[in-house]
A and B are shown apart, each in its own frame.
Chain A
Amino acid sequence: MTASKEQFLNNPLGKDTTLEDVLDAFEFLDDWEERYAYIIDLGKQLPGFPDDERVEENYVHGCQSQVWLIHRYDEDSGKLFLLIDSDAMIVRGLAAIILVALNAKTPRELLATDIDELFEQLDLFRHISPTRGNGLRAMVGKIRDIAAAEAA
């Protein structure tokens, strides 16, 4: 079964869980344990991902773990909806942060979002190995490509 319209539209990330929520929460996280516990919790908010979408064309290359990404452009609202899946918990959490910032936006809004600035605000890269940083960039890159194609 492929993902239904509802699965895309009901994704809480970027809708119920907003960027302000995440930024506020991060301010109160002092050490790495709290920070990662929060990231792991965010990952648990990722909606289910259809098994049959775990295919090569949806695979995000450049990550150490397996990552899949699918999207749906909603004609009614003009917004782009995203679903991400990974087998690693921390990657799921980082994907959730990306979705909080980029999901349920019009392609133009999405392309205007400075994700690097967000990562800097969250002080994420300092705590993430370059290998994992590359994985994050690969995810963001694929999302931006999708948005650019939809905006064209």
Chain B
Amino acid sequence: MTDLSVANNTQSMAFDVQAIRRDFPILHQEINGKPLVYLDNGASAQKPQAVLDAMDRYYREMHSNVHRGAHTLGDRATAAFEGSRETVREFLNAPSTREIIWTRGTTEAINLVANGLAPRLKAGDEILVSHMEHHANIVPWQMVAERTGARVVPIQVTPQGELDLDSFNSLLNERTRVLAITHVSNVLGTVNPIAPLIEQAKKQGVLTLVDGAQAVPHFQPDVQALGCDFYVFSSHKLFGPTGIGVLYGRAELLEEMPPYQGGGEMIERVSFERTTWNVLPYKFEAGTPAIAEAVGLGAAIDYLNSLDRKAMEAAENALLRQANELVETVPGMEIIGTAKQKVPVMSFKIAGLHPSDIGTLLDQQGIAIRTGHHCAMPLMDFYGVPGTARASFAFYNTLEEVEKLFTGLQKIQRLFA
């Protein structure tokens, strides 16, 4: 008896979800008269108090423009801003802060790379993406393909929602120049086995970009172990502020790529005869950056580092397991995406119900999910659905909330019966 309670205590010490929830002020409110159940973390995650405090403190105590020297506040702001860059470098295990570029988010980071690689592309070249990409990892490549005559070719996906490796093997060829692939699918939750794909691509001299937007909220990537040339993610999905994201790129490639935007900060010297570029990473950071947001992102990563990430992953897996077990309590419910390796993301459909009906009626019960095409129309076409309903969990969600989702779905079904 005593032993058991000790064991339980140890477990809750390792990961006390109630204590963690107290770090997220927004979670403690009612929506439509019901306690908020926030299951739309894949679209954007909530922010811990530590992030709000860091940004507040930055504006109250140290705001000024960065890299302009001359006064103390400027030095403080620069130290905080560059400190966050170091935090991100460490988070990704990148070799150098020269290789960490601030962008507005994943989308801008991919646009920057696509644009920067355009000079390497010519008619007949192929850019390999997958059928499960977010539009942000399709459209920028299509735009560059349009300009250069290259082609965007999709790797097929299996009905379970895994990458079809045969398709990858048959499509990777001497015309392939770039492999741009998502680490984790935003719709299916599939964790792609990107390390071996990158290795194969590299052997053929193919450049590789990994879209990590949906991966980093759930686990920490190691860009050196992966061996990718570029890794991109957004702060707001990683419990940090909106408006900032990260591009990791190998220095050698970043040096070679032309600047993305022109303006202040990114230059070394400007004259009407000849303008030269600043060194990395500043060459790609034209204009005054999102300083407070960079500071906020650093605080978000510090916060995550203060948690037991192994215990966090276990807790997230428990949420997904619970959800999978409850599927049979809702007749006609079908999960879209049943890969072996998944983060806690559950896309589903229910026979006879439109995703937008499900979303509206869950909202009435205080439960926030995402419905629609999830910016992945090719994948919707593959599954032959107009859209899906998607519950995406974060480590601050509870098993009780998973149950509420299913009670809510049962209620909706009774309404339509």
User: Chain A interface (Cβ within 8 Å of chain B)?
Assistant: 32-33, 36-37, 40, 64-66, 87-91, 127-129, 132
Q: A36-B361, A66-B386 are in contact. Are A91 and B415 (CB under 8 A)?
A: no
A64→B372 contact, CB < 8 A: yes
B132 shortest CB reach to chain A, Å: 22
| Set of chain B residues within 8 Å of A132, measured between Cβ atoms | 356, 360
12 interchain pairs (CB within 8 A)? A32-B32, A33-B364, A33-B411, A36-B361, A37-B415, A65-B386, A89-B416, A90-B356, A90-B357, A91-B356, A132-B356, A132-B360
Interface size of B in residues (CB-CB distance below 8 Å): 16
A65→B32 contact, CB < 8 A: no
Q: A33-B411, A66-B386, A89-B416 are in contact. Are A129 and B360 (CB under 8 A)?
A: yes
B356→A65 contact, CB < 8 A: yes
Interface membership of B353, Cβ < 8 A: yes
B364→A36 contact, CB < 8 A: yes
Known: A89-B353, A128-B360. 9 other contacts (CB 8 A): A33-B411, A36-B415, A40-B416, A65-B386, A89-B416, A90-B357, A127-B364, A129-B360, A132-B360
**Given the complex of chains A and B, what is the CA–CA distance between A66 and B371 in angstroms?**
14
| Set of chain B residues within 8 Å of A36, measured between Cβ atoms | 360-361, 364, 415
Of the candidates B354, B356, B364, B371, the one whose C-beta lies within 8 Å of that of A32 is: B364
B353's nearest neighbour on chain A, judged by CB, is: A89
A90→B360 contact, CB < 8 A: yes
Q: What is the total of A-B residue contacts with beta carbons within 8 Å? A: 44
Q: Which one of A33, A64, A87, A91 has the highest number of Cβ atoms from chain B below 10 Å of its Cβ?
A: A64
| Set of chain A residues within 8 Å of B401, measured between Cβ atoms | none
Q: A32-B32, A37-B415, A40-B416 are in contact. Are A65 and B354 (CB under 8 A)?
A: yes
B34's nearest neighbour on chain A, judged by CB, is: A32
| Set of chain A residues within 8 Å of B363, measured between Cβ atoms | 129
**Given the complex of chains A and B, what is the CA–CA distance between A91 and B361 in angstroms?**
12
A64→B411 contact, CB < 8 A: no
**Given the complex of chains A and B, what is the CA–CA distance between A37 and B411 in angstroms?**
11
A129's nearest neighbour on chain B, judged by CB, is: B363
| Set of chain A residues within 8 Å of B357, measured between Cβ atoms | 88-91
Of the candidates A64, A65, A87, A90, the one whose C-beta lies within 8 Å of that of B361 is: A90
A132's nearest neighbour on chain B, judged by CB, is: B360
A33→B415 contact, CB < 8 A: yes
**Given the complex of chains A and B, what is the CA–CA distance between A91 and B358 in angstroms?**
12
B32's nearest neighbour on chain A, judged by CB, is: A32
| Set of chain B residues within 8 Å of A40, measured between Cβ atoms | 415-416
| Set of chain B residues within 8 Å of A64, measured between Cβ atoms | 356, 371-372
| Set of chain B residues within 8 Å of A129, measured between Cβ atoms | 360, 363
**Closest 9 pairs between A and B when the two form their complex, measured CB to CB:** A88-B354, A32-B364, A88-B356, A64-B356, A65-B356, A90-B357, A89-B357, A88-B357, A90-B360
A139 shortest CB reach to chain B, Å: 14
A86's nearest neighbour on chain B, judged by CB, is: B354
| Set of chain B residues within 8 Å of A66, measured between Cβ atoms | 386
B354's nearest neighbour on chain A, judged by CB, is: A88
